[in-house]
Amino acid sequence: MTTLSRRHTLKLAAASGLVGYLGQIGFSQAQAKKLLKIIAWGGTYGDAMRSSWLEPFAAASGIQSEIQLQSSSMETLASLRANKNRNDADLWFSAIAPTSLAKNDGLLSPIPVGQLKNASQLPAAVVNDTYVGIWSLPYGIIYNAKTVPFEITKWEDLTDKRLKGMVSAPYGANYNGMFIALLALLAGGDEKNVDPGFELAKKMKPNFSIFTTSDSEQIRLLTSGEADVVAFAPVANYFAARKAGAHFRFVCAKPYIPVSISNVAILKDANVEAATRFIDFAISKEPQQKIAQLLGCLPINTQSDVAPALREAVPADTEFRFLQEGVMAGQLSGWNDRWQREIQR
Q: Fill in the amino acid letter for 134.
A: I
Residue ranges per structural domain of the chain: 6-136+261-306, 137-259+310-344
Task: Give CATH for domain 137-259+310-344.
Answer: 3.40.190.10
- pLDDT for the residue numbered 112: 98
**C-alpha atoms less than 13 angstroms from C-alpha of 72 in its C-beta half-sphere:** 19
Over the chain, what is the mean pLDDT?
90
24 confidence band (pLDDT: 50, 70, 90)? very low
Highest mean pLDDT among 153-157, 211-215, 232-236: 153-157
* Cα-only R_g, the chain: 20
* pTM for this model (two decimals): 0.73
Q: Within 10 A of 321 (CB to CB), how many other CB atoms are there? A: 14
pLDDT in tens, 103-155: 999 999 999 999 999 999 999 989 999 999 999 999 999 999 999 999 999 99
| Residue 135 contacts residue 260 (beta carbons within 8 Å) | no
At 308, phi and psi to the nearest 5? -55, -40
Gap between the Cα atoms of 259 and 270, Å rounded: 30
Q: What is the bridge-based pairing of β-strands 229-234 and 132-144? A: antiparallel
Residue 225 to residues 116, 160, 230, 249, Cα–Cα distance (Å): 45, 20, 11, 14
Gap between the Cα atoms of 345 and 311, Å rounded: 38
Gap between the Cα atoms of 36 and 51, Å rounded: 16
Q: Within 10 A of 179 (CB to CB), how many other CB atoms are there? A: 24
Q: Do domains 6-136+261-306 and 137-259+310-344 have the same CATH topology?
A: yes
Tell whether omega for the bond before 255 is within 30 degrees of 0, i.e. cis.
Answer: yes
- CATH class for domain 6-136+261-306? alpha beta
Percent share of the chain, pLDDT over 90: 77
pLDDT in tens, 240-290: 999 999 999 999 999 999 998 999 999 999 999 999 999 999 999 999 999
Gap between the Cα atoms of 268 and 138, Å rounded: 30
